[in-house]
Every structure is written in C-alpha cells, then in structure tokens.
Amino acid sequence: MQMLSVIGLIIAMFLLVFLAMKGIHVLAIGLICSVILAATSGMNVWTVLTENYMPGFSSFITSNFLVFLAGALFGKFMNDSHAADAIANWIVKKLGASKAVLAIVLSCFVLCYGGVSVFVVGFTIFPIAISLFKEADLPRNMLPGTIGFGSITFAMTCPGTPQIQNIIPSQTLGTTTMSGAVVGIIAGIFMFIVGYIWLNSMIKKEVAKGGHFVAKEGEQTAQLSEDEMPSVALSFVPLIVTIVLMNAFKVPAAIAIFISIVIGVVLLNKTYKPTMIAATFAGGATSAISAIANTSAVVGFGSVVKAIPLFQSILGVMLNIPGPALLGAAIAVTVICGLTGSASGGLGIAIPLVGPTYVEMGVAPAALHRVASIASGALDSVPHNGYIVTLLNLCGETHKDAYMPLFWLTVVLPFMACALAIVLFQLFPMLP
C-alpha cells in the first residue's frame, strides 16, 4: 500500500505542475490531485475531502480574507485614482525608464522589510509596477517574475526581516531574526545581484523577440498628462500610512490598509470622486475572492498531503539524508515546503520535527535557522504555491506565459543561495 501511495503522490505532484502549466483552473487541480492522493493512500476519499481538504481550504479563507480584500481594494483604488500612474511617472522621471525594474524590486524589498506580508506586497506594488511596465513598454509576462523576485527571495529570508519565514525557526530553535547574520547577508546580496542581472537578461531577450506591454481588457489604459495626475506627494501617502500603522502602531494589516484607502479617497479628490467607490469595491472584491479561492485550493491540497500516512515516512527519510547535517536539513525543509506548496506552512511543519534532531547532531542553531529560512524559499515556489497562483492571477497572466521567470528567480536562485550559505557555514563555522 505504501508503494501505491508513493506512486499516487508522484502522480499528484506531477499533475499539479502539468495542469497548472496547461492553464487548468487551480480549484479543479486541487480537488483532482487530492482525490488521487486519498485513493492511492487507502483513505476514504469523501472523508479526506470533508475532513482534511475543506478545513484547510476554509481555514485559510477565515484567517486571510480581510487581508486579501483590503489588499485588492487598495490596488484597485491606486489604479482608479491614478495614484499609481503618478508614482510610476515620478519614478521614471527621476530614475529613467531603464530603472523601472530596479524601482519595483527595491519597492518590494522596502515593504517586506517594513513588515508588510508578501501577499499584501503583491497587491500594493502591482498597480505601481504595472504602470511602470506600461511607461517603459516592458513585456507584461515579466511582471510576475519582477514582483516575485523583489518580494519572496532575499527580502523574505535575509537576517532581520520580519517575514514569517524568518520568525518560525526562532520559535523552535531559540534563535533570533538576526541569527546567522553574516552568512545570511552574503547570501542575500548574492540573490539580489545575481537575480537582478538574470531578470534584466530575461527581459532583454523578451524585448528582442518583440515583446512589449499589452494592457488587459478592462484595465485603465488612458494616459493622463502630468497636470491631470494627482500630486505625487499625496499619491505616496496611502503607502506610507500603511507601513507606519502596521509597524509603528502595530495595527492589523487589513485595518491599516482600509484606513489608508479612506485617507486616499479624501486626499486624491482631484482624480477620484465618491461616485467611483462602488465600481472600485466591485472590482477589488471580485479580484480578492478569485485570488483567495485559488490560494485556498492549494492550501487544501497541502492539508491532504499532511494527512496521508506516507507523509510521516517522508519525514523519517529526511532525517537520515547522508552528507553534511546542514545539507540534510536544507533538503528536508525544501522537500516539505514543496510538498505542502508553502514556505511558511512547510517550515512550520519541518522545523519542530527536524530542528531539535539536527541541533543534537551538532548543528549550530543560528546556522540551522538561516539555512532553513533560505531553503524554505526554494521549492515552495512551485506552480501550485499560493503566492505564485495569486500573483499570476493578480497580473492577469497564465503559468504558461509567465511562470518560467518565476521558476528561475524564486526556485533556482534560492537553491543557489542556500548552497552558498551551507558552504560558508561549513568553511567558517564561527561566523556570527
């Protein structure tokens, strides 16, 4: 029966990737793969769907819907008020169109280090990023890769970042968010430099093939003159308010964003009228429902993976990987994150189970913390990852057209950085 379960898991994981790349809706994919996994594991399919898949699906909605709604409304408001256009126009004017990509990446980095969740960063940056891509006439299919690179690589796992992927290890290992600081900073700089060069190289190749910006149906396409645009200073206010409320005053993300929208409506009355509120809400709410349903489908499948008996056997195998202990820990975290389709979810499972064992084997907690954090950002970015699905949906792109840049920048690049971190910790174990 275990061999059949292994075959079922391989088939389910293959179908998750294959069907996603073919453009099949993730809700259908999640259900199909969950049924296959349950059937091949000797479990009652209906019981698995009702007691594992649906609780995982619904718990994610319960915990995150207000954040998704607030983020989607914020993005729609920034677009409808032309605040995003004003900011993008200002950035292009100051840095030049050639620096549009750098501006997006650094903006994501600042928001992530400011404590804004990566999901919220996606919604917040999108309206500005798409305006920058439009101004610079860059290929639209590179937009998800640009936002993904800025938010879920170095910004998500570097020392000091308040992202959950840097906090979870400390809860088990007794470390801090600055643990493994020197190696972590080197790995982060490596990801930024290599990733930025790589990203620009991919964009240049797309442009050479004739790629350029193409607006999607229903998007704001009218280009306002500078006189018609809202004040740049006022356009930045909603962004600044969000960051300040969340970090200085510890206001919950959803509330902080809603407050920022209200302030924005008042300040940006030159280009945003009260009569536009209903349309903004309708568009934002539709986007939020679609995004969270897609993500929840993936979370539901992850709940099924954790429920099958084979999962415990996989954990056992992970603890007996030959070679350097840090390498074994990195592989264990990466595999579990890939199976669950979530960096935070996989890390939350892996660290309590394997962390104490590796510490007993002589691995320094600080080194384990940093390697595990970086490793969590690799295979989590498989096509069925919740953030990837949400980001592609937000940008109006398909896996077929836009996933490969994400794969190179958010899967392969973190693998390379993790390998670098392991080598540095092996060579210089006394680094702080």
Q: What is the pLDDT of residues 311-324, one digit of tens each?
A: 878 877 777 777 78
Question: Residue 219: what pLDDT?
Answer: 63
pLDDT of residue 218: 62
Residue-wise DSSP of 89-128: HHHHHHH-GGGHHHHHHHHHHHHHHTT--HHHHHHHHHHH
Choice between 276 and 225, residue whose per-residue pLDDT is larger? 276
Residue predicted with more confidence, 299 or 52: 52
| Model confidence at 396: pLDDT above 70 | yes
Closest alpha carbon to 186 in 342, 419, 25, 2: 419
Residue 159 sits at the vertex; the CA angle it makes with 158 and 164, to the nearest 5 degrees, is 75
Write out the two tokens for 347: 């890390």
Assigned token pair, 405: 């840049």
Which of 325, 422, 409 minimizes the C-alpha distance to 370?
422
Task: Inform me whether the pLDDT recorded for 353 exceeds 70.
Answer: yes
Q: With cut-offs at 50, 70 and 90, classify the pLDDT of residue 13.
A: confident
- pLDDT classification of 48: cutoffs 50, 70, 90: very high
